[in-house]
Amino acid sequence: MGVSGVGKSTVGQQLADAMSLEFADADSFHSQENIDKMSAGIPLTDEDRLPWLLAIQDAIQNWLQNGQNAILACSALKADYRQALYCHQDEVKLVYLKGSFELIYQRMQARQDHFMQENLLKSQFDTLEEPTPEEAIYINVKEPPEAVVAEIKSLLQL
């Protein structure tokens, strides 16, 4: 979890590949209407996010019911969102990718063909309710993705 541009998709895909697990990006659960809003630089409201969260919740529930391990990259910026995504369950491990506004902004300026515009980054940081250390493993993303993946694997003993 973390703000847009922090590396959730890159790190999540690399971690899933390293462990031969399914990878899902929460962005793929957004409605076209939400994507259009974000593409236009309009921050999403909680009302906009509710169907998105419910779709992700269903995916997580299916993985848990099927005993399937998976890696999900999801912003999960608010505590309420994380609770909706079953982060309170022992089977779900939350990794918080943390970086400074300046670092993430630089990364967002460098990426291409993504609907999330860098001008929305401030709204992401404003919305962010950091998880508690008991709720999540904190990972600083100043290192390259490969090092972040290695740290996650080590801390989760994978």
Predicted confidence (pLDDT) per residue in 62-103, tens digit: 999 999 999 999 999 999 989 888 765 778 899 999 999 999
Sign for the pseudo-dihedral over CA of 24, 30, 31, 37: negative
Q: State the pLDDT confidence band at 119, using cuts at 50, 70 and 90.
A: low
Three-class secondary structure of residue 30 per DSSP = coil
Contact between residue 5 and residue 111 where contact means Cβ atoms under 8 Å apart: yes
Task: Tell me what pLDDT residue 40 has.
Answer: 83
Predicted confidence (pLDDT) per residue in 131-154, tens digit: 999 889 999 999 999 999 999 999
Q: Per-residue pLDDT for 116 more than 70?
A: no
Task: Tell me what pLDDT residue 1 has.
Answer: 96
What single DSSP character describes residue 73?
E
Q: Per-residue pLDDT for 115 more than 80?
A: no
Contact between residue 121 and residue 19 where contact means Cβ atoms under 8 Å apart: no
Q: State the pLDDT confidence band at 4, using cuts at 50, 70 and 90.
A: confident
Share of the chain above pLDDT 90, in %: 61
Output the pTM of the full model.
Answer: 0.86
Mean confidence (pLDDT) of the chain: 88
**CATH placement of domain 8-155:** 3.40.50.300
Sign for the pseudo-dihedral over CA of 54, 120, 5, 77: negative
The CA angle 7-31-29, to the nearest 5 degrees, is: 45
